[in-house]
Structure 1
Amino acid sequence: MELKNPMLVVTDLEKSKAFYREVLGLRVVLDFGANVTLTGGLCLQTRESWMEFLHKEKQEIRFGGCDGEIYLETEDLDAFLEKLPAFCVELVHPPYTHRWGQRVVRLFDPDRHILEVGESMKTVVRRFLEEGMRPEEIAVRMDVPESYVHRMLK
């Protein structure tokens, strides 16, 4: 068994493609009309075609359930945060720092799917190193093996 792609059902495919392109910088790499694959492997499927796949005419599809998320990383969270106001994006919560030191923000896409955007773990390790922490201290701070810290520094 091999996991291939996560897929989100969307109400307006063109609006969602624009959101993922403009806000997150993802591009369409495959376009099958009612289904597209974006860079990174995320797929978007129209609600109508999804209903056909389920063989249901009136199957209820719920949006905004806050029961999962798509996780993305960036090397420059501050630059990402600076551009968000121009897109009038609704945040799930303001940016904050996880206990292991990673800075993140969660936001809603047009169909209220939750997206978490966090700084890459390499960025977290480098920041701690720049703050004067030694690799063994970083490992303790992040609650990861020291070998992980060394891998992030390569």
Structure 2
Amino acid sequence: MTIQFVNTLIMVKDIEVSKKFYEQTIGIPVVQDYGACVIFEGHLALHGAREFRRLIGAPEGGTDEPQGSLNMDVYFETDDLAGTYERLCQAGVRLIHGIETQAWGQPVFRFYDPDGHVVEIGAPL
């Protein structure tokens, strides 16, 4: 039996707000939309926090607040880093920092999604 990676799933407060952010603001195409769960091209999936907590039998506490924390990073790459940076700044993303070259030589910028998850976009290595 072979096990294969399929998606990284992050919890979000409002699935429609987050779907719009990733699809329209960032520009990641939706592959499948199941209402409470949305899967994007590149194996990113969003799930409504309230619905997910029900699925696993957990208490609903905390589902009405943004779900992000500083313990993960949703990472993308683009060949047009400067253009993407300008477009997202004009769209009003909550910027963490502008384009900076990391210690390993890669230019990246970071911002928050609607739930406060850290999103990073970098130039390909």
The normalised TM-score by structure 2 is 0.88
Counterpart among 70, 85, 91 of residue 74 in structure 2: 70
Partner of residue 11, structure 1:
13
For the Cα contact (< 8 Å) 1:64–1:112, is it kept in 2? yes
Query: What is residue 100 of structure 2 aligned with on the other side?
Result: 96
Q: Assess, with a 3 A threshold, how the Cα gap between structure 1 residues 58 and 33 changes in structure 2: closer, same or farther.
A: closer
Q: Does structure 2 retain, via aligned residues, the 8 Å contact 1:51–1:59?
A: no
Counterpart amino acid of residue 49 in structure 1: E
Does the residue aligned with 1:105 lie in a helix, a strand or coil? strand
Determine if the alignment matches structure 1 residue 32 to structure 2 residue 23.
no
- 1:96-138 Cα offsets, whole Å, 9 max, x none, are 00122210001100000111100111xxxxxxxxxxxxxxxxx
Query: How far apart are 1:74 and its partner, in Å?
Result: 0.3
| Correspondence 1:50-129 to 2 at 5 A | 50-60=52-62, 63-121=67-125
For the 8 Å contact 1:105–1:117, the answer to whether it is kept is yes
Partner of 1:23: 25
CA contact (8 A) 1:28 1:36 kept: yes
Aligned to 1:47: 49
Q: Tell whether the 8 Å contact from 1:11 to 1:47 is kept in structure 2 after alignment.
A: yes
Say which structure is richer in strand. Answer: 2
Secondary structure of the residue aligned to 1:23 is: helix
Contact 2:67 2:117 in 1 (8 A): yes
Q: Which has the higher contact order (CA 8 A, sep 6+)?
A: 2
Distance 1:77 1:22 in 2: 17
Would you tell me which structure has more helix in proportion to its own residues?
Answer: 1
CA separation in 1, counterparts of 2:42 and 2:68?
Answer: 23
Q: Which has the larger radius of gyration?
A: 1
1:77–1:57 CA distance, 2 compared to 1 (3 A): same
In the TM superposition, residue 59 of structure 1 has moved relative to its aligned partner by: 4.4
Alpha-carbon shift at residue 25 of structure 1 (Å): 1.0
The gaps in structure 2 that reach 5 residues or longer are none
Partner Cα distance (1:89, 1:118) in 2: 16
